[in-house]
Amino acid sequence: MGNRCTAGKDSQGQPAKNKTPQNKLRKTPQEDMRLSGLIKREPTLQKASRIRRKDIREDYDFEQKVLGTGFSGPVKLAKNKLTGRQYAVKPFNKKGAKRERIELLRNEAEIYLQLDHPNIARLIEIYEDEQHVFMVMEYCSGKELYHRLCEKQMYKEQDAAEVTKQMLDAIYYLHSHSIVHRDLKLENWLYESEADDAYLKLIDFGFSKIWNPRHNRKMHATCGSLAYVSPDTLSGSYTNACDMWSLGVIVYMLLVGYPPFYGSENEILDKIAAGKYSLTGPRWPKVSRNAKDFVRRLLEVDPNKRMTAKEALDHVWITERVKAPEVKIEHDALEGLKSYAQSSHLKRAALTMMAYSLTSEEIEGMRELFKAIDKSREGTIRLEELTAVMQDHMEISNDEIEKIFSVLDHNKDEQVYYTDFLAAMLSTRIRLHEDLIRRAFERFDIDNSGVISVENLKGVLGDNYDGAAVEEIVKMADIDGNGTIDYEEFLAAVTAASEWSISETMLVDGPNGNEMDRAKIKTADERLKAVAKFLDKAVEAEPSRRELIGMANLKHTSHSTPLIA
């Protein structure tokens, strides 16, 4: 590279290790285990749809490039055979693994499957066979925050504030949802691309813990990386404030290019415990008073006096330097929410599944829109936030907004999550293409039989999905009445959501009515779309089983698959 990274030197300019001290303080007790098996398949779309019990090599080709190395081995680059998209894959060999490592994997899988935020790298899916587990994750090609700091030597204060705001967004989301990361460091923040303004994303949840501050219990396991560990973590009794200390270390390094605590391992431990660091030196005079105050309030030995994530977001250093981008909330985006809410249960589930696989290019603009609606900054959208933005931009009643929100709120916890929002945007703002649809079909087809059965769907959705029995969901899409959904039927059901406006009447003629008569003279592709439209409306009209079976002949006249615009 040529230039030595000053992040790897102490404040006196003496060479240190190439990376910040990585001494792992691992002591993860059995009480941290949450999953009964290595990976527990739960009947929820968020979890079960992303757990694949098959050989990963059936779906992915591994490339030679090694992206990094974790406790479980090298993280490799892999390409999906169907889509050609690249992903980061973290392997884990179960054979002969120690119990501690199994516990770490269980913990990481459980927590990672819950996470859903623009500043957290996505977990796409998990593969498990007899000997291995593979976590397939979003590939962030823009390098670690550590490497960018090495290249820059130190960040300009404005850039440091903007980076810190993104980190705080992710941390506030975690803490608002009772999750503590416990290993925040420069190396665990990745840029999604090489662009200067690329999104920053958090990775590596191996030490993370589900922790609810309302229970008034503290954590005791000593874990993390030495340079970033908080005094309260070292004492063996701590809260989520440990993450804020680690953030303080990161911000300190961004501003001046070297760590606040340096020396031998014992010297570092002593300095951390005493909170002994300096805001003087050749680089500090150029740092603003507000930035110094921000660092001081994070590197506070007393965790009760340390800033919370919310307080840090409200600190003057952030609010004055980082302005929210102006986001134009367009009418068709809000129509997308309405369209999604009025789609069939199967389509909503499929769109949600597809949303997990969207690339950063495909969701460009959508994450800014999501953050603009999320006024609380907790990383989710609440009813009052959705009501405010919809009534500001369109004529709509409170009752209709509540119905839309209820459909979007899959977990029934009074929050709309990022992926649910992206799924709704698939209706109007994001281009549907067939590889997304094919991947969604394969995730429902959990036994790789080539069709989706009632049992397959129950394995992903549970017995009911958004109030509808799985048997009825299958029945509505099963045009030929054989008790399963093949790919063509699935394609028809999914594309119906994106082909017709929700402003059309939801009433429909029967199989012998004018709508179907017109369909008979259309091309094969158009006939299939007409069938999809009929199914979409039929869900709302609750037609008889006989009427749906009557559509089978039309479906079988199609000899080609429509391209999805």
Active site residues: 183
- Other Cβ atoms within 10 Å of 236 Cβ, number: 12
Is residue 170 within 8 A of residue 4, CB to CB? The reply is no
Determine the residue type at 9: K
User: What is d(CA 373, CA 302) in angstroms, rounded to the nearest whole number?
Assistant: 35
Structure tokens of 400? Answer: 């209709």
Order of strands, edge to edge, in the sheet holding 73-80?
51-52, 123-128, 132-138, 86-93, 73-80, 60-70
Identify the CA nearest to 209 among candidates 102, 103, 72.
Answer: 103
User: What is d(CA 398, CA 462) in angstroms, rounded to the nearest whole number?
Assistant: 30
Q: How far is CA 440 from CA 30, 62, 350, 446, in A?
A: 36, 22, 6, 11
The residue written with tokens 């899409």 in the block is 477
Structure tokens of 134? Answer: 């593979």
Structure tokens of 532? Answer: 């999809």
User: What is d(CA 463, CA 458) in angstroms, rounded to the nearest whole number?
Assistant: 5
- Give kind and range of the element (H or E) at residue 402: helix 398-408
Structure tokens of 88? Answer: 């980061």
Instruction: Please name the residue ranges forming H helices in 191-275.
Output: 231-235, 241-256, 265-274
Is residue 207 within 8 A of residue 179, CB to CB? The reply is no
Structure tokens of 393? Answer: 């931009």
User: What is d(CA 324, CA 191) in angstroms, rounded to the nearest whole number?
Assistant: 19
List Cβ neighbours of 167 (8 Å cut-off, separation of 6 or more). 119, 184, 189, 200, 202, 247, 250
Determine the residue type at 53: R
Q: Return left, alpha or beta for 560; rule: phi > 0 is left, psi -120 to 50 is alpha, else beta.
A: beta
Determine the residue type at 406: S
The angle that helices 145-152 and 241-256 make with each other, rounded to 10 degrees, is 30
Identify the CA nearest to 77 among candidates 60, 92, 59, 62.
Answer: 62
3-class DSSP state of 389: helix
Identify the CA nearest to 444 among candidates 48, 46, 42, 23.
Answer: 48
What are 128's strand-pairing partners?
133
Largest interatomic CA distance in the chain: 85
Q: Return left, alpha or beta for 456; rule: phi > 0 is left, psi -120 to 50 is alpha, else beta.
A: alpha
Count CA atoms closer than 13 A to 252's CA, side-chain side: 26
3-class DSSP state of 88: strand
Identify the CA nearest to 516 among candidates 481, 467, 553.
Answer: 553
